């Protein structure tokens, strides 16, 4: 009897273990099937927004986005103190600027700015679209351009420029590391240097300017002066023959930089992000 009872217990134990294993297997199959079902029935990614088509008359009525113009319907920069990742975009032909992907047109971006190719920093990306800083007023204007038509090129600048108005110091970074730093002259209290994100718009070597061999206009304008010296009040970085100006609030808004700094900045790619803070 003792031996027989032990055999019954063994059989029951085996049955319990087998039942548990079977239930575990059933549960595993059930969960696996649920996962496969979810993967099979997952919604496909949303298609890229399609640009709004314009007539020739509608296109002609749009303002051009240059340093001379204003884009009234441009959206402001959502992160004016962020550095960005160095991504740049160049329209190989004039491109429509939109308020948002698939949204209304707000301007036309030409392929050149001040006789240099248009290169703009990208601050946001979506499928077949990029959001860029614009060279027009008001400061911090942004817009979206469609890249899905193959009429843009992209590049990446390893450089960033940080300008601190409180310390009156310009720092050039390459791959996140300091590549040079200089004490600079900035705008006065009456004509201050604006703050926010901007970019190197062009590199100019005007023959009729005697105070600097190179002028580096930015995609930013004076908030106090609508025009200056025949121009649209564009803020720039340039040299100055008198070194006593460096470290002072002395300009009409432009950044005055020593010769070594001007030489270094004149070699960075057009479109490189420049962040000005207080």
Q: Tens place of pLDDT for every residue, the chain, 278 residues?
A: 333 444 555 555 555 555 665 656 655 555 555 654 454 455 677 789 999 999 999 999 999 999 999 999 999 999 999 999 999 999 999 999 999 999 999 999 999 999 999 999 999 999 999 999 999 999 999 999 999 999 999 999 999 999 999 999 999 999 999 999 999 999 999 999 999 999 999 999 999 999 999 999 999 999 999 999 999 999 999 999 999 999 999 999 999 999 999 999 999 999 999 999 99
For this structure, is 254 an active site residue? yes
Please determine, looking at this structure, whether the domain spanning 159-277 carries the CATH number 2.40.440.10.
yes
- Given this model, what pLDDT does residue 189 score? 97
Catalytic residue among 90, 146, 221, 254: 254
Q: Is 162 a catalytic residue?
A: no
Based on the number of CB atoms within 10 Å of its own CB, is 271 exposed (0-12), middle (13-18) or buried (19 or more)?
buried
Residues 6+ apart with CB under 8 A from 217: 67, 114, 201, 202, 204, 234, 235, 236
Q: Check residue 46 and give its pLDDT.
A: 76
pLDDT value, residue 4: 44
What local confidence, expressed as pLDDT, does residue 33 receive? 58
CATH number of 56-156, picked from 3.30.1380.10, 3.30.1490.20, 2.60.40.1250, 2.30.30.40: 2.30.30.40
pLDDT, position 171: 98
**Is residue 96 within a helix (H) or strand (E), and if so which, with residue range?**
strand 95-98
> What is the spatial distance between Cα 254 and Cα 56, in angstroms, rounded to a whole number?
39
Asked whether the CA dihedral 61, 88, 81, 260 is positive or negative, the reply is negative
Q: What is the pTM of this model?
A: 0.84
CA gap 202, 191 in Å, rounded: 23
DSSP state of 244: G
């Amino acid at each position: 009897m003792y031996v027989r009872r032990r055999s019954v217990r063994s059989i029951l134990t085996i049955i319990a273990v087998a039942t548990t294993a079977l239930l575990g297997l059933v549960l595993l199959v059930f969960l696996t099937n649920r996962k496969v079902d979810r993967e099979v029935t997952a919604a496909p990614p949303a298609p890229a927004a399609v640009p709004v088509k314009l007539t020739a008359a509608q296109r002609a009525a749009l303002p051009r986005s240059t340093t001379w113009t204003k884009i009234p319907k441009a959206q402001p920069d959502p992160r004016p103190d962020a550095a960005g990742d160095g991504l740049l975009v160049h329209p190989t032909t004039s491109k429509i600027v939109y308020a948002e992907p698939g949204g209304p047109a707000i301007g036309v971006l030409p392929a050149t700015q001040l006789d240099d190719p248009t290169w703009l920093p990208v601050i946001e990306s979506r499928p077949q679209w990029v959001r860029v800083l614009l060279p027009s007023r008001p400061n911090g204007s942004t817009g979206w351009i469609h890249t899905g038509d193959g009429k843009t090129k992209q590049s990446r600048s390893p450089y960033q420029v940080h300008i601190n108005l409180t310390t009156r110091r310009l720092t050039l970074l390459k791959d996140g590391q300091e590549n040079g730093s200089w004490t600079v002259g900035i705008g006065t209290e009456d004509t201050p240097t604006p703050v926010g994100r901007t970019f190197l718009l062009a590199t100019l070597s005007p023959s009729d300017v005697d105070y600097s061999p190179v002028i580096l206009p930015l995609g930013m304008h004076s908030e106090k002066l609508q025009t200056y010296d025949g121009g649209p009040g564009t803020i720039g970085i340039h040299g100055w023959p008198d070194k006593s100006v460096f470290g002072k609030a002395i300009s009409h808004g432009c950044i005055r930089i020593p010769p070594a700094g001007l030489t270094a900045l004149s070699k960075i790619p057009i479109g490189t992000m420049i962040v000005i803070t207080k």
